[in-house]
Amino acid sequence: MKGAPDDLHAMVDTELSAGSRLVLVSLLVASAMATVAVGIKGLTTPALPLAGRIAFAMISALGVLSIVLGLRTLSRRRALLARQRVIAGRIAVASAAIVVLASSLIGWAKNIPAAYYVAGFGVFLLAGTIALLRQENRKLAALTARRHALAQQLKIQDLPDLPQA
């Protein structure tokens, strides 16, 4: 455990670095721009059917939630914890799977060829989110194993398990 303080300082510098904050600000701005664009399009298209208006409202609500999450993360100056990253990864995988399934069904049921392009892009998103989720699961498992190893070194017998994500 000789290098632990140096490792800890390196992690803190990475999590709170100007580069990390710049990436978060960039994502926040992009999310805000997309949310505003979708909201304006939904509000200014008079011929949009009710189902379309509902879809635009739901997309806008998700955009607002991502903006709130970004602002919260920036204001607290720290990144997501390991379990939170696993949960976020699961949500991303589920969302990408819904995009693939819904666009495939729309393409098949309504005979809209462009929907298959969306489904193809969704497959790309799904593969990426699955890869990220697997990476975060490995990190969480490594942290859990390290915690148990440290507990054994300290001879702590009644250490509770980490809650599962």
pLDDT digits (tens, 9 = 90+) for 109-144: 999 888 899 889 989 989 999 999 999 999 999 988
Q: Final residue of a domain: which of 79, 103, 126?
A: 79
Q: Domain limits at 42?
A: 1-79
Q: Final residue of a domain: which of 21, 44, 79?
A: 79
Handedness of CA 34, 37, 40, 43 (dihedral sign): negative
Domain count for the chain: 2
117, 143: one domain: yes
75, 95: one domain: no
87, 165: one domain: yes
27, 71: one domain: yes
38, 104: one domain: no
Section 95-113 average pLDDT = 89
161, 89: one domain: yes
Report how far apart, in Å, the C-alpha atoms of 134 and of each of 27, 86, 92, 98, 163 are: 22, 9, 12, 19, 18
Say which residue, 56 or 76, is predicted with more confidence: 56
